Structures are given as structure tokens and as C-alpha cells.
A and B are shown apart, each in its own frame.
Chain A
Amino acid sequence: MYPSRFRYESPTSIEEAISLLEEGKGEAKVLAGGQSLVPMLKLRFASPELLVDINNIADLDYHRFDADGSLHIGALCRHEHLEKSADISARQPTIAAAAPLVADPIVRTRGTFVGSVCHADPQGDWASCMVALDGYIVAQGPNGRRNIPVRSFVSGPFQNVLAYNELAVEAVIPAPQGTALGGYMKLERRVGDFATAAVAVAVDMSGGKVTRAGIALTGVGGTTVDASDAAAALVGGSLDEASIAQAAELAASVAQPRSDHRGSASYKRHIISTFTARLLGSISESNERAA
């Protein structure tokens, strides 16, 4: 299988990439890790006239914590860098837990966090982490930059709100309000499979109370499911058996799973409730240990 014909450009600056996208007038596509786009080109699900390969833009390959505690993930930060970075495992537990569960180790050497969010696959693991963490995408176009909260960034399955001449330059996870706790649990049939169902949880705690919470579900809806009621119910209280059980039930109630080759709808709903409870349970334990 090989893709249909396209013109290929590999700009070395963000500005150059944007003017190429502008030139493409909507018929251009950004190539990041290529781990979703190249398979789609080969299957001819996508046939752009112009491919703008951003891999040679030097200053996009980073992740860093700013002094205020926010985490910035550049457009060329690969899954494996998040998996293997000590600062991520020490400071951002939701992302640290998800990183080794995205695709397989070889796909992770090339696939990018930002590319994955742009791809907006309802089965995508990173979009759920972004929702749970209140993340936003920084998009740059000919008229400058704008921040797009992930909840309004994804507009449908495999659709985002970027204009044709905008490049997503980084993803930002705002600073935690207290201690950042969280996790990601994913049920997959085998390594490299997309989620049968998965749950991202991110909880900030201060003085034994929840100051901020986010819960998002993968693989159980047409897009990432934001279990905002489940998360809101936790804010202001402590994590105990009753509040955890309530959040797990609320999360399961907003899932819209469909029965398919990965499992029945009721099984998936059960997984969502179980994973939510387990994640919150271990957050509560690790918070008690730290206190």
C-alpha cells in the first residue's frame, strides 16, 4: 500500500510551516509522528495535496514545567519521552500512568502527544488526560497565538477546531491547586490495542480536601467523555468510601458505551465504575501516606 501523490515540505520554523499551510488553502496536512496519519494516507482515507512535515522544526521537541507549575508539551514531544521522563513520573501522575499504555513501544518512539490530541480519536488516551487535567492547546496561525481549552478543541470524532492555517504548537496542563494526584487505567485486549474502556483521573488536594478534580473516559462514546458531574461531586470534600462510590457511579452513568468486538456495553460501563473507584481509592491512599 502506498499513499496517493502529494507534495512534501519540511519547514524548519513554525512561521514557515504556517505559511505553507496558508498556501495549501485547506488541502494541506500537518505530519507529526505520522503514527495515525501515515496509515490513513496508505489506506487513502486521507489524500492531502501537500504534507507539511514538522519534524525538522527544532524548537518543538520539549516538555517542561514552568516556574508556576504548569506543564508545557511541545508539538514534537513523543509518547516515549513522557513515558521515560523522571520529572513527569514525579510531578504529573495522570500523564505518567497513561504514557506506557498508549499504543506499543515502537509507535511511542514517533507518535506525539499533541498529534494525538489533534487526531481526536474517541479512543485516544491523551485526550482523556487533557480533559481530566483541564488542558488547553496553544494554536499558532498567521495572526498569532490563541489558547483553546481541550473541551472546545475537539469538535467531533477525528475533528478539531483548528483553522486550516493553524498549527498546534503545544499542549499546556495548568498548574495544580495543591498536590497533583491522579492516574490512568486502561483495559486493552493486548499491547497496542486501543482501549476497551479507560479512565483518566486528576485530583488536586490541599489539606485533605479536594481542590480541583477531573475525570474523563476513553472508548465509551463518540468522543472523549467528560465525567464533569462525577468530578464536581468530589470538590470541596475529602476522598472517602462514600464520595468515591458516588463518583464512580456518576462516571459510569455518563458513559455511552456500545457493544462491539471489545466487549458488551454493560461490561464497559462496569469497567468505568470499577476503574474510577480504584483510581480514586489509590489517590486517597497516597494522599494519606503523604500527609
Chain B
Amino acid sequence: MTSLFEEITETSVDIPVRRVTITVNGEKRSANVEPRLLLAHLLRQGFKLTGTHTGCDTTNCGACTVLVDGRPAKSCTMLAVQADGRDVMTVEGLATASELHPIQEGFKEEHGLQCGYCTPGMMLAAKALLDENPDPTEDEVRWALSGNLCRCTGYQNIVKSVLWAAEKMRNSAG
């Protein structure tokens, strides 16, 4: 199959493609897209940022979660054109060239992943929580991640990972 991105961005008969410019992980990126292209597809096939996973493709699992202007959004349920002019963060935006993000470290230290499919979405939902609430209780972590499904871990270690990250982030901020 040709890439979905190529396939649906070719100039179609009567629907004009639109140019979108999105700040992705701090970098301005532009593309011509058909309005029906989903943000998840632009990120994955267009920008080759395959860290954003699509799991259910029906708005249920949260694997495709990215941050749009700092708030978590299911990128399978948002059109790429809707991200025009906005700031998008994907899992690739968490680490720097030399260092993992504390949330990533937390998932490593506390074994917060098994197959890793849900992990990018979990991490971004966690980041949105910690940006808002640097010292969450276990319940608050569970609540904030309740839109993200994991088929492997049973959630226990994911919650521990986020609490680990919160502590590390508080310590390095203090």
C-alpha cells in the first residue's frame, strides 16, 4: 500500500488541500493536507513521528494522545487542519538529545510498560497532569489516566511510574 499520507494528500478533484503549519515539539512544520486527514495520520505518516500510536481508532483507548496547546487530545479524533497554528507535543518531544524526560525515566525505573503500545499516550496524559498538579495523589493519577487503556500492565506500575516522575520533577524544581 502506498502511504496513507501520500494517498490522501494528492490534490483531489474538487476538494482543495489546505496548508497547515503546526509547531510540533517546538519546531514549525508545514504540510498540505486534505481536510479529512486525521492529526494522528499527519504525525505518523506525514511527519514520520511514529511514536504516536493508533490503537482503537474509535476514540476509546487513548494510545494516540498528544498534547495540543498543552492539553491532552486523542489525535485520532481531531482533524489535522484543526491543529493549524497550534502547538502539538508528541512523545518524541519528551526527551532531549542527551536526557530522558523524568516521566520516561519513571516508566523505566518502575516498569511502567510491557508491550509499550499504550505508553506514549500514557506519558503525555501524565505530563498534562503533572504540569497542572506537580504533587498528585495516587487517586489523582488514576483519575487523570482513566482515559488511557493498557492491556498489559494492570496499571499498577504505570501509576507508580508517574508518582516516581512527579517526585523527581519536584526535587529537581525545588
Is B one of A's binding partners?
Answer: yes
Q: How far in angstroms is the closest Cβ of chain A from B3?
A: 13
Q: How far in angstroms is the closest Cβ of chain A from B76?
A: 8
**Please, which residues of chain B bring their CB within 8 A of the CB of A42?**
38, 57-58, 76
In whole angstroms, what is the CA distance A53 to B79 when docked? Answer: 10
In whole angstroms, what is the CA distance A1 to B57 when docked? Answer: 7
The answer to the question of B59 belonging to the interface, with a C-beta cut-off of 8 Å to chain A, is yes
**Please, which residues of chain B bring their CB within 8 A of the CB of A55?**
82
* Pick from A2, A5, A31, A34: contact of B15, CB under 8 Å: A5
In whole angstroms, what is the CA distance A107 to B71 when docked? Answer: 11
**Please, which residues of chain B bring their CB within 8 A of the CB of A35?**
59, 77
Which chain B residue has the least Cβ–Cβ distance from A36?
B59
Q: A104-B146, A106-B65, A107-B147 are in contact. Are A51 and B35 (CB under 8 A)?
A: yes
* Pick from A2, A5, A192: contact of B147, CB under 8 Å: A192
**Please, which residues of chain A bring their CB within 8 A of the CB of B147?**
103-107, 191-192
**Please, which residues of chain B bring their CB within 8 A of the CB of A104?**
62, 146-147
Which chain B residue has the least Cβ–Cβ distance from A41?
B36
**Please, which residues of chain A bring their CB within 8 A of the CB of B65?**
106
CB pair B36–A2 under 8 Å, yes or no, is: yes
Which chain A residue has the least Cβ–Cβ distance from B36?
A3
* Pick from B8, B35, B57, B58: contact of A6, CB under 8 Å: B35
The answer to the question of A211 belonging to the interface, with a C-beta cut-off of 8 Å to chain B, is no
In whole angstroms, what is the CA distance A80 to B73 when docked? Answer: 12
CB-CB contacts of A56-89 with B at 8 A, as 1s and 0s?
0000000000000000000000001000000000
The answer to the question of A267 belonging to the interface, with a C-beta cut-off of 8 Å to chain B, is no
Q: A2-B36, A2-B41, A106-B73 are in contact. Are A8 and B146 (CB under 8 A)?
A: no
The answer to the question of A4 belonging to the interface, with a C-beta cut-off of 8 Å to chain B, is yes
* Pick from B35, B36, B58, B125: contact of A105, CB under 8 Å: B125
CB pair B15–A53 under 8 Å, yes or no, is: no
Q: How far in angstroms is the closest Cβ of chain A from B146?
A: 4
Q: Which of B68-86 contact A (CB under 8 A)?
A: 71-74, 76-79, 81-82, 84
24 CB-based A-B contacts, threshold 8 Å: A2-B8, A2-B36, A2-B37, A7-B15, A31-B79, A34-B79, A34-B82, A35-B59, A35-B77, A38-B59, A42-B38, A42-B57, A53-B82, A103-B147, A104-B146, A105-B144, A106-B65, A106-B74, A106-B125, A107-B59, A107-B147, A109-B73, A110-B73, A110-B74
Q: A6-B36, A8-B35, A38-B78 are in contact. Are A109 and B57 (CB under 8 A)?
A: no
In whole angstroms, what is the CA distance A4 to B37 when docked? Answer: 10
CB pair A107–B8 under 8 Å, yes or no, is: no
In whole angstroms, what is the CA distance A104 to B121 when docked? Answer: 14
In whole angstroms, what is the CA distance A51 to B144 when docked? Answer: 31
**Please, which residues of chain A bring their CB within 8 A of the CB of B84?**
10
In whole angstroms, what is the CA distance A10 to B84 when docked? Answer: 11
The answer to the question of B60 belonging to the interface, with a C-beta cut-off of 8 Å to chain A, is yes
CB-CB contacts of A100-131 with B at 8 A, as 1s and 0s?
00011111011000000000000000000000
Q: How far in angstroms is the closest Cβ of chain B from A110?
A: 6
The answer to the question of B12 belonging to the interface, with a C-beta cut-off of 8 Å to chain A, is yes
CB-CB contacts of B1-38 with A at 8 A, as 1s and 0s?
00010001000100110100000000000000011111
The answer to the question of A156 belonging to the interface, with a C-beta cut-off of 8 Å to chain B, is no
**Please, which residues of chain A bring their CB within 8 A of the CB of B146?**
104-105, 191-192
Q: Which of B26-67 contact A (CB under 8 A)?
A: 34-38, 41, 57-60, 62, 65
**Please, which residues of chain B bring their CB within 8 A of the CB of A34?**
77-79, 82
Q: How far in angstroms is the closest Cβ of chain A from B66?
A: 10
**Please, which residues of chain B bring their CB within 8 A of the CB of A8?**
18, 35, 79, 81
Q: Which of A17-48 contact B (CB under 8 A)?
A: 31, 34-35, 38-39, 41-42
In whole angstroms, what is the CA distance A6 to B41 when docked? Answer: 17
**Please, which residues of chain A bring their CB within 8 A of the CB of B71?**
80, 109
The answer to the question of B148 belonging to the interface, with a C-beta cut-off of 8 Å to chain A, is yes
CB-CB contacts of B125-164 with A at 8 A, as 1s and 0s?
1000000000000000001111110000000000000000
